[in-house]
Amino acid sequence: MLEVNEACSRFPGYASPAEMAKAEMAALYPNPSDRRNLVARLRNEVMIRNLELELRKKDGSRIWGVVNLNLVQAPEGQVIEGTMIDITARRQAAA
């Protein structure tokens, strides 16, 4: 991971952006194939909007987020830029 802000790092339970940047991003997904499938979809579509994802916090508990992602060309190669909103409470209320 190149960069993450404070709010994004707190959402899955990391103490700081630096701690989250060191983490394996696949660990945020309940199934190892989920991240691979998401990246493959993004490579095909280049932009994904309002996708609801089940994710896993650092402590292993499950959370939900809605993401907007863009695949962009940067000097270091293709990178994913995006935003994520915590919708865990909404999903739990609907269950």
| Per-residue pLDDT tens digits for 19-62 | 998 888 888 999 979 999 999 999 999 999 999 999 999 999 99
Domain map (residue ranges) of the chain: 28-94
- CATH fold for domain 28-94: Beta-Lactamase (3.30.450)
Residue 4 pLDDT level (bands cut at 50, 70, 90): confident
Average pLDDT, the chain: 92
pTM: 0.84
Distance, CA of 88 to CA of 70 (rounded, Å): 23
| For residue 2, pLDDT beyond 80 | no
Per-residue CA distances from 13 to 19, 73, 74 (Å): 10, 29, 28
